[in-house]
Amino acid sequence: MADVRLAEYVFAPHYAAPLPCVVTRAVTLHAESSPTSEPLAELTVGESFEVLEVLREVAWGVSPEHRLAGYVDRKALDLAA
């Protein structure tokens, strides 16, 4: 799966439009869906996070502030934002 904004540059079997969210509590952005995987960044309250997919307890997406893609605890996001 790839961000639909990359469709012009990257071939993928599926594309997703990002769902803009707001971080509601400090959370770690991880490289993989496991909370024990490599930490990539710390997201703070009020930062934006663009969700591309929700997988059980985690959301996969992009942190625009850090310019990184990864997984976060979905309970740390306001999905209605």
- Please report, for the domain that includes residue 50, its CATH number: 2.30.30.40
Could you tell me the residue range of the domain that residue 55 belongs to?
Answer: 2-78
Query: What tens digit of pLDDT does each residue of 7-60 get?
Result: 777 776 667 788 999 999 999 999 999 999 999 999 999 999 999 999 889 999
Give CA angle at 78 (21, 56), nearest 5°.
Answer: 95
How many domains are there within the chain?
A: 1
Question: Residue 6 — very low, low, confident or very high, per pLDDT cuts 50/70/90?
Answer: low
Give residue 81's pLDDT. 44
What is the model's pTM?
Answer: 0.83
Longest dimension (CA), the chain: 34
